[in-house]
Amino acid sequence: MTFPILILAAPTGAGKTSLITELDPTRFEILSFDSRQIYREMPIGTAAPTKEQQSKIRHHLVEVLSPKESIDAGLYNRMAEEALQKVLNTDKIPVFTAGTGFYLKAFLFGMFPVPEISVSVRERVLSMSIEEKKVLLNDLDPEALDKIFSGDDYRLGRALEVNLMGEKWSRLKIDPNTSAIYKYNLEIRLGIFLDLDRKELYERINLRAKRMIDLGMADEAWEIRERYGESCPGLKSLGYNFALENKKETPM
């Protein structure tokens, strides 16, 4: 027996959340693959679905981790498997949503067999700036540095962690046996990518950023910093570094 699934992917600001809430909650449930919205206590900067939106249709993997907790593909996969099983048990159709698609791709099609990362290595990498990561990664695995977008702090960190554990990140191959499609006999019935005009998308992103600032993203970032420290994983999310700098420069 195969289980049908739907996929909805879209860049930040394209209107994915609004579209999701129009789905029939008696037929569908949402599995979110967003590395920012998985954190709680940060609804402004992560643009997490509001309580009202979540009440319209059930969301999984949204606001479940503390900002002090790290997230990686392995942990995301384990959490996603639990959520998927819950949805399948209800006989509803899972709708997978994603922005960049990194975690979703790893879940559906298989993961790289990365070594277990020690606490000391993870803490060392977390304490490094993005430029420090690039320098060290260039020494250990220049091919990895060439394959990763220069501003992707998360993937640079993950590649560096793997190398510091003695494996070459650039030589890892996907293990198809870890694929959820294979393990759960899933069938992609429909895949949608919201592709907006670039100018319109940038205008929407700018408006969204302004709205986040107006809603108090800088204060939200400061509160997280006070609770969990400036180097906590949650604050690695895009935009929080600028929000913190803005707060530091603003008279208290």
Are 120 and 108 contained in the same domain? no
Same domain, 211 and 239: yes
What region does 185 belong to: left with phi over 0, alpha with psi -120 to 50, or beta? left
For residue 168, what is the domain's CATH number? 1.10.20.140
Same domain, 224 and 163: no
| 212 and 96 inside one domain | yes
Helix axes 153-164, 119-126, angle to 10 degrees: 140
Model pTM score? 0.79
* 154 and 103 within one domain: no
Token pair of 190, please?
Answer: 């429909």
How confident is the model at residue 67, as a pLDDT?
Answer: 96
Residue 251's pLDDT band (boundaries 50, 70, 90)? low
Contact (Cβ atoms closer than 8 angstroms) between residue 47 and residue 39: no
Give residue 241's pLDDT band: very low, low, confident or very high (50, 70, 90): confident
- Same domain membership, residue 152 and residue 142: yes
State whether 121 and 216 are in the same domain: no
pLDDT tens readout for residues 187-214 = 999 999 988 888 988 898 889 889 998 9
Q: What is the CATH number of the domain that holds 197?
A: 3.40.50.300
Q: Which of residues 143, 172, 201 is at a domain's end?
A: 172
Which residues are annotated binding-site positions?
10-17
- Domain co-membership, 63 together with 188: yes
- Could you tell me which residues are annotated as the binding site for substrate? 12-17
Question: Is the domain of 134 the same as that of 101?
Answer: no
More confident residue, 242 or 33: 33
Tell me the Ramachandran region of residue 83: left when phi exceeds 0, alpha when psi lies from -120 to 50, beta otherwise. Answer: alpha
pLDDT tens digits for 78-123?
999 999 999 999 999 999 999 768 899 999 999 888 888 999 999 9
Q: Is the dihedral of CA 199, 200, 201, 203 positive or negative?
A: positive
Are residues 108 and 159 both part of a single domain?
no
Domain edge (last residue) among 103, 138, 172: 172
Same domain? For 46 and 83 the reply is yes
Residues making up the binding site for ATP: 10-17
Domain extent at residue 8: 3-112+174-249
Q: Is 117 left (phi over 0), alpha (psi -120 to 50) or beta?
A: beta
Identify the pLDDT of residue 145: 95
Confidence category of residue 151, pLDDT binned at 50, 70, 90 = confident
